[in-house]
Amino acid sequence: MNYGLTEQQEMIRDLCRQVAQEKMKPIREHYDEANEFPHEILKVFAQADLCGIYIEEKYGGLGGGVMDLSIAVEELSKVCSGIALSLAATALGTFPIILYGNDEQKQKYLPRVASGQSLAAFALTEANAGSDAGAIATTATKDGDDYILNGTKQWITNGGEAEIYSVVTKTDKSKGSRGASVFIVEKGMPGFTFGKKENKMGIRASATRELVFQDCRVPKANILGKEGLGFIVAMKTFDMSRPGVAAQALGIAAGALDEAVKYSRERRQFGKPICSFQGVQFMLADMATQVEAARALVYAAARYIDTGAKDVSKISAMCKLFASDTAMRVTTDAVQVLGGYGYMKEYPVEKMMRDAKITQIYEGTNQIQREVIALNLIKEAASRKA
């Protein structure tokens, strides 16, 4: 199916499919087992011009949008979502600059990301501030022409590997979430170091680390927007980035479905392939239907966001919620179709199942997504009544 893709989007899909099959598939097991960051594959992404898909042409990108990025992340995640996450997480760290950066900031940072020279990361989560984003404790105190940052960020994707960080801080504790501000912090700035690298259940090719700020001096020119805009920057960033997580989940599910269908045609029991048994056929049919439904919602959300619409929180949350729940169901069923082999690391579906779980958790747990959806429904109903 074409899904109404443009010529450029078809090119992105085909290129990512080729990169995934030829470059990622042979080494995905190694990076998962070794918990190692895939530097060599990132060079391939850069050479293939995949790093700037969603960045304007004047900053060195392809000029695509959330839809183009989602297509790329989906295709790469069919083979290895941990490796694909380096691209998606860089987009998450870059979106605040795209949305709220001034021209000077964009000129300085976006070409570096688009060329593949620099990875980016987004730093909101802390030990006591995950779903409760307003509870962040990292502070930024004004000191002349600079701000001094102090605090620790936790579970930051691309942490330690990225060169550019969009960091959410508190510039005024007395104002709660309205006292938050976002700064662009560069790797190597004095006072900015990294804590432990996490040993994760899944997405093990992706680096997840603590960020530590100890009297880290950041120029005031690096603030995004203005003081007090941080919470809005974070929420608008998530509105744009959640289809990327949804696309990752969609890719995982689609990849698991492919593996299940392939195996069911090869595995023989009682003298015939197991795909001839109705019980297996019904599982495959349900899996395929769920994948197509998730794809339809992810693509619809991405396209709607690319129109520049303002009211995107609900559809963005919906696609992340549905696609990640789908990924968990489909990968679980894929393991079941493969039976004992599905439980073994020689086959990729157990990895896909481990990778799928995080998509229900990060960039807002699925419980938070349901709250976002419900609150928007209630607000819409109230406005219609008025």
Nearest CA to 370 out of 329, 313, 331, 326 is that of 313
Q: How far apart are CA 53 and CA 129, in angstroms?
A: 31
Q: What is the Cβ-side half-sphere exposure of residue 204, based on CA atoms within 13 angstroms?
A: 18
Nearest CA to 94 out of 72, 115, 71 is that of 115
Residue corresponding to tokens 């060079």: 43
Residues 6+ apart with CB under 8 A from 153: 123, 124, 125, 126, 138, 159, 167, 210, 211, 213
How would you class 148 by CB atoms within 10 Å of its CB: exposed for 0-12, middle for 13-18, buried for 19 or more?
Answer: middle
Q: How far apart are CA 313 and CA 232, in angstroms?
A: 12
Tell me whether strands 164-170 and 268-269 are parallel, antiparallel or unpaired.
Answer: unpaired
Nearest CA to 298 out of 2, 43, 3 is that of 3
How would you class 270 by CB atoms within 10 Å of its CB: exposed for 0-12, middle for 13-18, buried for 19 or more?
Answer: exposed
Nearest CA to 168 out of 229, 129, 123, 210 is that of 123
Nearest CA to 179 out of 127, 134, 122 is that of 134
Please pick, among 161, 198, 227, 363, the residue that the annotation labels catalytic: 363
Active site residue 363: yes
* Six token digits for residue 209: 């680390």
Residues 6+ apart with CB under 8 A from 52: 59, 60, 61, 62, 110, 113, 114, 115, 116
Q: Do residues 338 and 303 make contact, with C-beta atoms less than 8 angstroms apart?
A: no
How would you class 366 by CB atoms within 10 Å of its CB: exposed for 0-12, middle for 13-18, buried for 19 or more?
Answer: middle
Q: Where are the alpha helices (DSSP H) in the chain?
A: 7-19, 28-34, 39-47, 66-77, 81-100, 103-114, 230-266, 278-306, 313-338, 349-358, 366-385
Catalytic residues: 363
